[in-house]
């Protein structure tokens, strides 16, 4: 109610990127203010429901709804976001060296379509600075994933060096890691989703993870791969097989799309990746196909166009063990998290299921 009536009208009068920075700054300050996280938790926190709690890779997720990468790019507001009811969150995408990203304007709202288009270009403060932010934030009550990428100036044949460096600098700061090879806003990045490039990259990331785990005297942390929704019907099986053979822990499906199908707003002509409601069906279909292709053996995080509990539940039934939101948070506000969790619990009850895991993949066609 507070967001819908007071904050959203103000934020939507600003440019999308200015509103983004104002939101991150506000969440950062509230997270550091004495009593700030308690206030946020009281206003928006989600009570733990045993029926929705998930354990994956030995990590406890209080519920399945997380924050996708791209909002807290520099891990500046982790305390704040951890307090408003997420079950987990991603920070990043981060690159080894700081980079400014693409020229502004580079973030656009499409309100009638409940969508966003961005061509941010991995703007971030770099892995070393992010590590400082995460150490300052301390241990959080929810899992925090670090989404890693390569610098724009790094050629694909040396991409593995960038991903290794991110892991070296941030290993101690993340509960799990996400290899981003699917942003459409870094030239040629999506080419890393294919063939020998993908195989070589994931082998390097796995090797670096093993080295860092040994160095820290720990077991290896989970590595997930984030893929695009724009892979063709022929490409997806090869990508899925390469990821499965690599030994990584899971897949995030999907990133933003280059498609403009169904958009009506004038900003539809802007270049970049589109997220939001028009992506819902496509991303769910990719989840379903991945679940079948991997025979349900590789956990999937479903991401793309989740605005309602039914959207989230459809992805879970298609094969997702967890889900993520981003664009819906911009349009609906933090009250979305209570709504999604209450709705998921009700949908489980209607289907006669006692736990979320019983719904995973039931409509995958397997």
- Residue positions annotated with a catalytic role: 183
Q: Rounded distance, CA 186 to CA 329, Å?
A: 25
What CA–CA distance (Å, rounded) separates 80 from 346?
A: 28
CA nearest neighbour of 327 among 27, 93, 55, 108: 108
Token pair listed for 131: 């590590």
Which of 203, 86, 76 has the alpha carbon at shortest distance from 137? 76
Q: Is the peptide bond before 93 cis (omega within 30 degrees of 0)?
A: yes
Pairing of strands 144-148, 300-303: unpaired
What one-character-per-residue DSSP string does 281-348 give?
HHHHHHHHHHHHHTTT-S-EEEES---SHHHHHHHHHHT-SEEEESHHHHHH-TTHHHHHHHHHHHHH
Torsion of CA 12, 266, 67, 74, to 10 degrees: -80
Cα angle 139-141-143, degrees, rounded to a multiple of 5: 80
Closest by Cα among 156, 160, 157, 163 to 178:
163
Query: Where would I find the H helices in 138-260?
Result: 159-170, 195-216, 235-246
Q: Which residues are CB-contacts of 23 (< 8 A; sequence separation ≥ 6)? A: 11
Please state whether beta strands 273-276 and 115-118 pair in parallel, antiparallel, or not at all (unpaired).
antiparallel
> Rounded CA gap, 218 and 250, in Å?
20
Q: Distance of CA 260 to CAs 17, 41, 270, 273, 279, Å? A: 21, 37, 10, 9, 10
Q: Which two tokens stand for residue 233?
A: 């019907």
Distance between CA 109 and CA 333 in Å, rounded? Answer: 15
């Amino acid at each position: 109610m507070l967001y819908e009536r007071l904050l959203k009208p103000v934020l939507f009068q600003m440019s999308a990127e200015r509103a983004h920075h104002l939101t991150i700054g506000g969440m950062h300050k509230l997270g550091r203010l004495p009593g700030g996280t308690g206030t946020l938790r009281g206003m928006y926190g989600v009570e733990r429901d045993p029926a929705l709690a998930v354990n994956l890779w030995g990590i406890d997720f209080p519920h399945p709804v997380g924050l996708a990468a791209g909002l807290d790019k520099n891990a500046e507001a982790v305390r704040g976001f951890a307090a408003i009811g997420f079950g987990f969150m991603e920070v990043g995408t981060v690159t080894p060296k700081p980079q400014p990203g693409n020229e502004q304007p580079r973030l656009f709202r499409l309100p009638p379509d409940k969508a966003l288009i961005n061509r941010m270009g991995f703007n971030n403060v770099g892995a070393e600075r992010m590590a400082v932010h995460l150490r300052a934030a301390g241990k959080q009550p929810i899992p925090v994933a670090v989404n890693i990428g390569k610098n724009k100036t790094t050629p694909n044949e040396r991409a593995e060096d960038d991903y290794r460096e991110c892991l070296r600098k941030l290993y101690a700061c993340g509960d799990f890691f996400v290899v981003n090879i699917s942003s459409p806003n870094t030239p040629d990045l999506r080419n890393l989703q294919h063939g020998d490039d993908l195989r070589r990259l994931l082998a390097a990331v796995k090797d670096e993870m093993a080295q860092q785990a040994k160095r820290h005297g720990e077991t290896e942390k989970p590595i997930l791969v984030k893929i695009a929704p724009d892979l063709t019907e022929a490409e997806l099986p090869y990508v899925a097989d390469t990821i499965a053979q690599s030994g990584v822990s899971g897949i995030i499906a999907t990133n933003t799309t280059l498609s403009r199908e169904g958009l009506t707003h004038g900003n539809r002509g802007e270049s970049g990746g589109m997220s939001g409601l028009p992506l819902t069906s496509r991303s769910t279909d990719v989840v379903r196909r991945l679940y079948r292709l991997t025979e349900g053996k590789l956990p999937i995080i479903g991401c793309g166009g989740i605005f309602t509990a039914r959207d989230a539940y459809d992805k879970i039934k298609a094969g997702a063990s967890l889900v993520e939101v981003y664009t819906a948070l911009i349009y609906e506000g933090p009250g979305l998290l209570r709504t999604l969790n209450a709705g998921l619990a009700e949908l489980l009850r209607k289907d006669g299921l006692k736990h979320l895991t019983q719904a995973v993949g039931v409509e995958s066609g397997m």
